[in-house]
Amino acid sequence: MSQDLMQIDAIRDMNNGEWYEEFKSRPNRVYTSVELFAGAGGLALGLDMAGFHHVLLNEFDEQACNTLRVNKPNWNVYEGDIHNVDFTPLRDKIDLLSGGFPCQAFSYAGKKGGLNDTRGTLFFELARAVKEIRPKVFLCENVKGLQSHDGGKTLEIIRNAIKELGYTLVEPRVLKAVMYQVPQKRERIILIAIRNDFADKVSFKWPSPYHRVMTLRDAFFKGELFSTDVPQSDGQIYPDKKRRVMELVPEGGDWRDLPIEEQKAYMGGSFYLGGGKTGMARRLSMDEPSLTLVCSPAQKQTERCHPLETRPLNIREYARIQTFPDYWKFLGKMSDQYKQIGNAVPVNLAFAIGRAVIRLMNDIDNICPDKVNFGEVNMVAKSMLPSRPLQLDLFALMEEHQDGVLAEPKKSYKSNWKNLLISLVSDKLSGEFDVSEGKIYYTGSKFPSTITLHKLQLFVPYIRAKGIRDLYRITKIRVASKREVDPKAKKSDYRLFFELKFIRKIFDDYKPINLDIWRTYNYSSLENILYIN
């Protein structure tokens, strides 16, 4: 074990800890929770495993929200900007509020060092949620650097803001994930705050560490952490030039293990700048924990090369290092998936913290029993979600309509001014529509079922950064594979195709419009467009 990983005090804690006793922690009742900045669900899943029941999760990133929904269909996921969320319906109904707020730059222009000095940061929005919900406890996690950011001024401002909210902050602690059954040298600062009416009656005890350190061997093979070897999955690959360099790096090595001429060629100007730069051309070691995962395993400054194979870590290996279970799916492009995993709180670390907070909740509940009806609170949270149109199942439509044709509008556009579809056209198609010669518009892989296809008569393309100008008549709506327009697309990638006939220009030049469009679609009226100022 490398000397910088474990210190004598840490080893003593691991040998004398109460991990197995604390592992038995169970909630006295159903404890409700709200999670902000939920990401792909690392913290949320760990708290869920500990016994918390999430009634609402807020996340801005679309693909991360899709990941949450596909894995936990019963979670109420509010997809959108936290600034737009009104939390007051949940006031006094929530036991725990949690979240890893992004560490934005703080302004120190204020003199109080309290809430006023957090304005403009996402911590302020977390603080607003605390003020509106009044949970018994709230939990924040962030990068280790928050502790020393701006000489400690940032953390001091956060301390004062928490005090102003009416909460007592437990002395923050940086937890090393590697001490909590996580095969990764990741460190996070954890903030626990208890509402003042309970703070002087209870005390929080930090979780005890596990008795040993987990390594990549534990992550990738059947054993104590996982019941099977890591499953196959997609992953990034190296370009030939980089692969040839990485093949020269031994297990656990980095750029310094390359021949001197290779070092100079690979490092470029960095070779002469000094410093360790040990993340460059770094190959991990099977018998040590991973370095902290980042948003991509193949960034030059933070290389995460497989210990034994010359390739970046793949998606499932990344997920296992973060202790996500193998059943946890990640949606979006490969880059989206790496980003979601790399930004997550390790699940086992969150699980350990969650059990410690459960013990705190039990102590609070013993002092002041609370009869919370989870079903009622869950319904309140569900009513807060913005409406999301159901999606047409394009695969099912293709199966149902073997010829692909869904509708062939026959009426003249003049007979009904309301049957209009406005849509942002893709960059690939915008050039065609820009010269009024577009014959086909095809949708994304999703389309809202609330639009009545057989009634659509007219189509207006919205050109990115320009606006609208031209009017088309829809002559046919059908479903077909995207391969029809992109030979590289999968045959099973079905889209809606609109065959179009140009009618006329609505305006002499493009005009931007501000319509309430769900993503890129709108069932609207031509009349509204003709009278744009």
Distance CA 329, CA 46 (A): 16
Give the closest residue to 391 by CA, choosing from 58, 69, 18, 31.
69
Active-site residue among 65, 103, 295, 368?
A: 103
Buried b (16+ CB within 10 A) or exposed e, 367-402: eeeeebeeeebbeebeebeeeeeeebebeebbeeee
**Inter-residue contact 297 to 338 (CB < 8 Å):** yes
C-beta neighbour count of 501 within 10 angstroms: 11
Give the closest residue to 184 by CA, choosing from 319, 26, 369.
319
Distance CA 64, CA 56 (A): 15
Buried b (16+ CB within 10 A) or exposed e, 185-194: bbbbbbbbbb
Burial status of residue 301 (CB atoms within 10 A of its CB: 0-12, 13-18, 19 or more) = exposed
Beta bridge partners of 97: 34, 138
Question: Which amino acid would we find at residue 197?
Answer: D
C-beta neighbour count of 264 within 10 angstroms: 14
Distance CA 195, CA 515 (A): 43
DSSP state string for 9-31? HHHHHHHH--HHHHTT---SS-E
Give the closest residue to 500 by CA, choosing from 484, 525, 529, 477.
477
Residue 20 Cα to chain centre, angstroms: 31
103 carries an active-site annotation:
yes
**Inter-residue contact 257 to 250 (CB < 8 Å):** yes
Looking from the CA of 306 toward its CB, the CA atoms found within 13 Å total: 19
The radius of gyration of the chain's CA atoms, rounded to the nearest angstrom, is: 27
Give the closest residue to 422 by CA, choosing from 512, 289, 340, 361.
512
Contacts of 260 (CB under 8 A, 6+ apart): none
Beta bridge partners of 391: 448
Give the closest residue to 407 by CA, choosing from 478, 482, 481, 502.
478
Which residues are identified as catalytic? 103
